[in-house]
Amino acid sequence: MKHTLAIIGYGGMGGFHHNSIKEKVGCIRVKGAFDIRPEAMAKAREAGLHAYGSLDELLADQEVDLITVATPNDVHRPLVIRCLEAGKNVVCEKPVALNAAELKDMIAASRRTGKLFSVHQNRRWDRDYRIVVEAIRSGMIGKPYFIESRVQGSHGSVSGWRGQKQHGGGMLLDWGVHMLDQLMDMTPEPVIEVSACLQKVFGGEVDDNIKVNLRFGNGLSALMEMATNCFISLPRWHISGTEGTLIIHDWDCGGQIVQSNNQRFALPDEHPDWSEYYINIADTLDGKAQLIVKPEQALRVMRVIDTIFAAEEQRGGISCQI
């Protein structure tokens, strides 16, 4: 069945959703968009979309069965709940909410209305992440016991609403949520300890350089680092396993696996695409698949984020069971 989608928030990411669905997801038609900024509405019109005059007009459109919310983070919760209560299925950009309590309200609305609700954790379809997943699944490095995951940029401070606390700015909620989602997607065992260093080097009110240490119940430890002022990057991934070590240098996915006796192996050949996220959404709505990015998984991530903010406040590790 062909689904009809509308986008709320037609900024950078709203335009991205439109273009990538148009190019690659035949089972979804993007009909229109609503944004509070007239310039964004003009951009949507130029891109061939119906520009809704109000949120109410969008929600009343009976053709639309799926809505993507791509606004700044602080308005995700009220918008998602309104869309669900209007009988729409909803995809929400990450971070889905500012904290676990907000997300619980959104999940409750989804259960109450029986409508699909998912979070756009598109980086589960990143090539580097899929190589890691496949290398672990195939046993090439044995049992992983220490994972280092890093995203290091050199643009300095975070800008626009991302630099403002009230809008859910900061790197933990921006990049950290992707990196945590990946680590927790590949590790279903509970997180039992969290410690963090969230620095505000350039921006003032939000974290712009972060390091997070996690311990999982199966003995795995992970270090996650996101930097905005790094001019000599460390590898995107470095994983120690009982049978070998994996390295992925950067987004181009150069790297290797080395086992004992210095045996070297090429990384698994993976070519995922972000459009697979929306194909899964359409297939789930059609009863042909299970939802891959479940809101309950996002809740687990948000609970860790709550714990990280608390750990940072008391500057120490926090034992937990998430």
Q: Which is nearer to ligand NAD, 71 or 118 (CB)?
A: 71
Q: In the range 101-120, which residues lie near ligand NAD by CB under 6 A?
A: 120
Residues sharing a CB contact under 8 Å with residue 173, sequence separation 6 or more, in sequence order: 73, 95, 98, 305
For the bound state, the minimum distance from the C-beta of residue 18 to ligand NAD, rounded and expressed in Å, comes to 11
Region binding ligand NAD by CB under 6 A among candidate stretches 66-74, 207-215, 222-230, 237-245: 66-74
Percent helix, strand, coil in the chain, to 5, is: 40, 25, 35
* Residue 301 contacts residue 180 (beta carbons within 8 Å): yes
Query: Closest Cα partner for 76 from 89, 58, 95, 57?
Result: 95
N-to-C CA span, the chain: 38
223: closest CA among 235, 208, 206? 235
Could you say which of 29, 31, 45, 72 contacts ligand NAD (CB under 6 A)? 72
Give the shortest CB-321-to-ligand NAD separation in angstroms: 28
Binding residue for ligand NAD, selected from 37, 137, 143, 155, defined by CB under 6 A:
37
Task: Examine residue 13 and tell whether it contacts ligand NAD (CB under 6 A).
Answer: yes
Determine the length of the chain. Answer: 322
Alpha helices, DSSP H, located in the chain: 12-24, 38-46, 55-60, 76-85, 100-113, 127-137, 171, 177-185, 275-285, 295-314
Candidate list 3, 30, 71, 128; residue touching ligand NAD; CB under 6 A? 71
**What burial class does residue 255 get, using C-beta atoms within 10 Å of its C-beta: 0-12 exposed, 13-18 middle, 19+ buried?**
buried
CA distances, 217 to each of 148, 187, 194, 222, 308 (Å)? 17, 9, 12, 12, 17
73: contact with ligand NAD by CB under 6 A: yes
Residue 21 in the binding site for ligand NAD (CB under 6 A): no
**Structure tokens that stand for 240 in this block:** 């120690």
Distance (Å, whole) CA 240 – CA 136: 11
Q: Pick the closer one to ligand NAD by CB: 73 or 89.
A: 73
12: contact with ligand NAD by CB under 6 A = yes
- Residue 10 or 216 having the CB closest to ligand NAD: 10
Examine residue 8 and tell whether it contacts ligand NAD (CB under 6 A): yes
Binding residue for ligand NAD, selected from 3, 21, 28, 35, defined by CB under 6 A: 35
Determine if 278 is a binding residue for ligand NAD (CB under 6 A): no
Contact with ligand NAD (CB under 6 A): which of 89, 110, 122, 164? 122
Q: Does 201 bind ligand NAD (CB under 6 A)?
A: no
Residue 68 Cβ vs ligand NAD, minimum distance, rounded to whole Å: 9
Is residue 50 involved in binding ligand NAD (CB under 6 A)? Answer: no
Residues in the interface with ligand NAD (CB under 6 A) total 23
Q: Distance between CA atoms of 214 and 76, rounded to whole angstroms?
A: 27
Contacts of residue 145, defined as CB under 8 A and 6 or more positions apart, other chains included, come to 219, 220, 221, 240, 241, 242
Interaction residues for ligand NAD, span 133-172 (CB under 6 A): 161
Question: Interface residues with ligand NAD (CB under 6 A)?
Answer: 8-14, 34-37, 40, 70-73, 75, 93-94, 120, 122, 161, 174
